């Protein structure tokens, strides 16, 4: 996501082969002086400190004992951290951003394309740590102010330009694209977008309604928070531990701790915003990249000449690519497998790929192709611009960007905008600094005004118009979308549940849920038609669902007075068996159970069987099919249909998918949730009709 660090004044951020060659030649020169220094962390290596610079190959003095004791690379680093671009890593950035864009434009193209973000995390952790540690060796301390200034120069100008244009476009577009702009913009400016989206339960994979126009900035916030903490973390690691292996082990332990927190926090009963956006739960990739920088720093990787080491790096990189490709095809961002090990395995594979990309082997050369390098150097801008383009397209046309009409726009426009941003904003600021670039722009404007006054005036008026529209939009933007307000109302209705049914079909003690298939339990015997009530009402129904059911809660209660709605945003089918078991144990599970789950992810047929084992033969279960533009929709509906065919006496299928497909205008722009009145009426009427047909 973030490109390599800024170049020195006078450089233009391109790949400087001379810079890398100087690093490599100094490395081999040192090895000839002292053959034992070929190991990066060899503590027997000698050096002499002159001023703030360490010169290898000379006797040690007390001034550099601290550096030697830390077991960090004492070869001379480049003139300034981040001045040299590694072409292989630029090409790898191109692969990562292509995966992310493809996933956002059409998830079915690459179901696991979101892993490109984690590949960016590993690259950032590896580069930032390598640069900081090289600077620590060269100067004797971490230059925090200089590091943060370089990061600000690299990241902020392009971000500010995107925010200004996006605010203007969202204001002119209006609707859901405009809603929440003020809060999202403030979070973006403070690099707290991930925590802001957690507070709003804005789920990344199957969220509510049209995505916020700045939702993608959550990952940049995680990275920026890492940039603030990384120097402090490295100082603590190198101060507490003196041996390189222990330093690597500590960083690996912190990464494992992050992945463990992700696994523990994940719950199929709630949305995944907390576990996916959290800096603590999703920081494992950055930490693994940092550990790799201690084990194989960037300077050592680019200077590698040993055929054995290069071959090993290529073999590990090829294996890592294989694992990443399989994960990108198999993982879809839902289910426990992603959060309980899947993401950790994919990130570990990314580490091998990153190191191989830096080494001058086959993988590094393949990723150094000019087209890949060109895209990679603009990957930060492409990532910044691609999501606002998609969001605006979706606001203009509910079928975008999945429609062939909009797909070329969603794919090409971000590249063009990123190229313009790189040429007009990013590169000049890196080369001249913010103040220098401002002086240059002022001089250009004066020269243009003197020669072409009308052209200069047109530029000023256009800029003023963009700023005015964006400012007005930020002030007047609604705090939430219409769908968010609709679901919030449904949550309030569900919380104010009616009294429990007066005709329970099971015991109210805890043993009712212990053995739902016990044939000696009279309450678990199949209903006899003579004992069945003349008419089933809402007082006999418990409905379990997700945000789709919450959106229709008002009409459900109107069609089936007394119904209990147990729905939650982001809930998955995996949570249903345990939820129903708790309701049964509390005596609150009624004789008819409506299950409206599957919007947020697929599930195996065994999950549905476990659910039916809880409800038992005494209850009727209505499964509502799923309508969502998600890769798992066909599998979910097929599983529901198979389950109903296997249990015809106790289950029924409510075909919401077929019914709403005939009236897509009754859905919100996300093509998932029903609109008030028409859409919610259709949803509630289908369920009410199916419930009433259960009577004799």
pLDDT in tens, 515-557: 444 433 434 344 444 444 457 889 999 999 999 999 999 999 9
Non-local CB neighbours of 589 within 8 Å, separated by 6+ positions: 506, 542, 580, 583, 615, 619
Angle at 205 between CA 163 and CA 102, to 5 degrees: 70
Q: Residue 659's CB: how many other CB atoms inside 10 A? A: 16
Q: Alpha-carbon distance 597 to 672, whole Å? A: 12
pLDDT in tens, 304-322: 999 999 999 999 999 999 9
Non-local CB neighbours of 189 within 8 Å, separated by 6+ positions: 163
Are the CB atoms for 336 and 271 separated by under 8 Å? no
**H or E stretch covering 55:** strand 53-56
Q: Annotate 284-314 with DSSP letters as a single string.
A: HHHHHHHHHHHHS-HHHHHT---HHHHHHHH
pLDDT, residue 206, reads 58
pLDDT in tens, 114-132: 999 999 999 999 999 999 9
pLDDT, residue 88, reads 96
Beta-bridged to residue 114, according to DSSP, are none
pLDDT, residue 458, reads 73
Confidence band, pLDDT 50/70/90 cuts, at residue 210? low
Are the CB atoms for 203 and 570 separated by under 8 Å? yes
Q: Alpha-carbon distance 548 to 551, whole Å? A: 5
Dihedral, CA of residue 404, residue 409, residue 415 and residue 420, to nearest 10? 170
Q: Alpha-carbon distance 330 to 319, whole Å? A: 17
> Interhelix angle for 370-377 vs 87-105, to 10°?
70
Task: Report residue 242 CA to chain centroid gap.
Answer: 35
pLDDT, residue 110, reads 92
Are the CB atoms for 566 and 580 separated by under 8 Å? no
Q: Alpha-carbon distance 133 to 475, whole Å? A: 44
478 burial class (0-12, 13-18, 19+ CB within 10 angstroms)? middle
**H or E stretch covering 194:** helix 193-199
Torsion sign over Cα 230, 236, 242, 246 = negative
SS3 245: helix
Say what the pTM is: 0.78
Beta-bridged to residue 54, according to DSSP, are 49
In the block, residue with structure tokens 């900081």: 132
pLDDT, residue 37, reads 37
pLDDT, residue 77, reads 36
Are the CB atoms for 380 and 2 separated by under 8 Å? yes
Are the CB atoms for 320 and 352 separated by under 8 Å? yes
Beta-bridged to residue 55, according to DSSP, are 48
pLDDT beyond 50 at 108:
yes
State the DSSP code for 9: B
Peptide bond into 401 cis (omega under 30): yes
Are the CB atoms for 369 and 639 separated by under 8 Å? no
Non-local CB neighbours of 178 within 8 Å, separated by 6+ positions: 170, 171, 213, 473, 477, 478
pLDDT, residue 401, reads 63
In the block, residue with structure tokens 């109107």: 558
Mean pLDDT of 568-577: 92
pLDDT beyond 90 at 16:
no
Are the CB atoms for 162 and 414 separated by under 8 Å? no
pLDDT in tens, 351-391: 999 999 999 999 999 999 999 999 999 999 999 999 999 98
pLDDT, residue 79, reads 39
Beta-bridged to residue 545, according to DSSP, are 567, 596
Q: Alpha-carbon distance 219 to 166, whole Å? A: 18
pLDDT, residue 65, reads 36
pLDDT in tens, 44-93: 333 333 333 333 333 333 333 333 333 333 333 333 444 468 999 999 99
Provide φ and ψ at 651, rounded to 5°.
-130, 155
Q: Alpha-carbon distance 110 to 103, whole Å? A: 6
pLDDT, residue 387, reads 93
Pair of tokens at residue 362: 């086959």
pLDDT beyond 80 at 42:
no
Are the CB atoms for 77 and 355 separated by under 8 Å? no
Confidence band, pLDDT 50/70/90 cuts, at residue 497? low
pLDDT, residue 213, reads 87
In the chain, where the domains are located? 17-440, 482-692
Q: Where are the strands (E) in 588-695, listed by range? A: 592-596, 620-624, 651-654
Q: Alpha-carbon distance 436 to 455, whole Å? A: 23
pLDDT in tens, 233-256: 999 999 889 899 999 999 999 999
pLDDT beyond 80 at 463:
no
Are the CB atoms for 694 and 620 separated by under 8 Å? yes
Rounded to whole angstroms, the maximal C-alpha distance in the chain is: 100
Provide φ and ψ at 116, rounded to 5°.
-60, -30
Q: How far apart are the first and last CA of the chain?
A: 61
Are the CB atoms for 623 and 654 separated by under 8 Å? yes
Q: 482-692 adopts what CATH topology?
A: Rossmann fold (3.40.50)
Non-local CB neighbours of 601 within 8 Å, separated by 6+ positions: 205, 206, 332, 333, 334, 335, 572, 573, 574, 632
Q: Alpha-carbon distance 18 to 40, whole Å? A: 22
pLDDT, residue 46, reads 31
Are the CB atoms for 105 and 112 separated by under 8 Å? no
> Interhelix angle for 144-173 vs 218-240, to 10°?
170
In the block, residue with structure tokens 């929440």: 180
Q: Alpha-carbon distance 3 to 495, whole Å? A: 47
State the DSSP code for 536: -
Per DSSP, helices labelled H in 426-585 are 427-451, 453-476, 482-495, 547-551, 553-559, 576-585
Confidence band, pLDDT 50/70/90 cuts, at residue 674? very high
Q: Alpha-carbon distance 335 to 320, whole Å? A: 23
pLDDT, residue 5, reads 41
260 burial class (0-12, 13-18, 19+ CB within 10 angstroms)? middle
Kindly report the three-state secondary structure assignment for every residue of 87-111. Answer: HHHHHHHHHHHHHHHHHHHCHHHCC
pLDDT beyond 60 at 30:
no
pLDDT in tens, 268-298: 888 888 999 999 999 999 999 999 999 999 9
Chain mean pLDDT for the chain: 82
Kindly report the three-state secondary structure assignment for every residue of 196-244. Answer: HHHHCCCCCCCCCCCCCCCHHHHHHHHHHHHHHHHHHHHHHHHHHCCCH
> Interhelix angle for 379-396 vs 87-105, to 10°?
10
Are the CB atoms for 67 and 133 separated by under 8 Å? no
Are the CB atoms for 274 and 196 separated by under 8 Å? no
């Amino acid at each position: 996501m973030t490109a390599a660090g800024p170049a020195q004044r006078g450089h233009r951020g391109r790949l400087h082969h001379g810079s890398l060659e100087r690093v490599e030649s100094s490395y081999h020169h040192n090895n000839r002086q002292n053959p034992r220094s070929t190991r990066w962390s060899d503590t027997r290596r000698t050096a002499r400190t002159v001023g703030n610079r360490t010169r290898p190959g000379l006797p040690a003095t007390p001034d550099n004992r601290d550096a030697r004791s830390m077991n960090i690379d004492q070869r001379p680093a480049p003139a300034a951290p981040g001045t040299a671009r590694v072409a292989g890593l630029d090409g790898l950035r191109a692969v990562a951003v292509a995966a992310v864009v493809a996933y956002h434009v059409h998830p079915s193209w690459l179901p696991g394309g979101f892993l490109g973000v984690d590949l960016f995390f590993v690259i950032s952790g590896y580069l930032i740590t390598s640069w900081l540690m090289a600077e620590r060796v060269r100067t004797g301390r971490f230059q925090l102010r200089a590091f943060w200034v370089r990061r600000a120069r690299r990241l902020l100008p392009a971000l500010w330009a995107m925010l200004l244009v996006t605010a203007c476009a969202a204001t002119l577009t209006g609707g859901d694209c405009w809603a929440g702009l003020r809060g999202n913009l403030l979070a973006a400016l403070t690099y707290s977008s991930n925590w802001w989206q957690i507070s709003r339960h804005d789920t990344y994979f199957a969220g509510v309604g049209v995505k916020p126009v700045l939702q993608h900035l959550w990952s940049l916030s995680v990275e920026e928070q890492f940039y603030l903490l990384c120097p402090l973390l490295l100082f603590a690691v190198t101060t507490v531990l003196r041996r390189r292996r222990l330093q690597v082990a500590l960083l690996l332990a912190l990464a494992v701790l992050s992945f463990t927190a992700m696994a523990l926090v994940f719950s199929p009963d709630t949305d995944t915003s907390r576990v996916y956006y959290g800096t603590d739960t999703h920081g494992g990739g950055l930490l693994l990249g940092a550990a790799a920088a201690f084990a194989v720093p960037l300077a050592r990787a680019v200077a590698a000449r040993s055929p054995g080491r290069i071959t090993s790096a290529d073999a590990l990189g090829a294996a890592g690519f294989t694992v990443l490709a399989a994960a990108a095809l198999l993982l879809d961002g839902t289910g426990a497998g992603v959060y309980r090990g899947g993401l950790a395995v994919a990130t570990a594979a990314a580490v091998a790929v990153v190191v191989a990309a830096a080494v001058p082997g086959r993988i590094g050369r393949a990723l150094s192709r000019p087209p890949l390098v060109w895209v990679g150097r603009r990957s930060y801008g492409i990532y910044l611009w691609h999501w606002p383009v998609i969001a605006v397209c979706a606001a203009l046309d509910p079928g975008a960007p999945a429609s062939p009409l909009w797909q070329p726009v969603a794919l090409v426009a971000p590249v063009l905008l990123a190229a313009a941003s790189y040429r007009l904003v990013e590169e000049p600021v890196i080369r001249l600094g913010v103040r220098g670039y401002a002086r240059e722009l002022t001089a250009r404007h004066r020269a243009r005004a003197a020669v072409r006054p009308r052209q200069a005036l047109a530029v000023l008026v256009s800029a003023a118009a963009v700023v005015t529209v964006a400012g007005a939009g930020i002030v007047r933007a609604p705090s939430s979308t219409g769908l968010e307000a609709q679901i919030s109302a449904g949550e309030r209705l569900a919380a104010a549940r009616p009294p429990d049914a007066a005709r329970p079909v099971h015991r109210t003690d805890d043993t009712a849920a212990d053995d739902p298939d016990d044939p000696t339990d009279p309450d678990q015997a199949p209903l006899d038609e003579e004992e069945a009530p003349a008419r089933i009402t809402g007082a006999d129904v418990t409905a379990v669902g997700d945000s789709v059911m919450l959106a229709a809660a008002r009409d459900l209660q109107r069609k089936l007075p007394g119904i209990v709605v147990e729905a939650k945003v982001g809930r998955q089918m995996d949570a249903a068996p345990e939820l129903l078991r708790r309701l049964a144990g509390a005596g609150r599970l009624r004789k008819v159970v409506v299950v409206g789950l599957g919007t947020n992810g697929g599930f195996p047929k065994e999950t549905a069987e476990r659910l039916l084992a809880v409800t038992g033969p005494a209850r009727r279960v209505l499964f509502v099919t799923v309508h969502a533009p998600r890769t798992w929709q066909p599998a979910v509906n097929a599983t529901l249909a198979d389950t109903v065919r296997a249990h015809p006496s106790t289950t029924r299928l409510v075909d919401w998918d077929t019914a709403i497909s005939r009236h897509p205008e009754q859905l919100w722009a996300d093509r998932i949730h029903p609109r008030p009145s028409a859409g919610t009426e259709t949803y509630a009427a289908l369920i009410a009709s199916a419930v009433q047909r259960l009577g004799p």
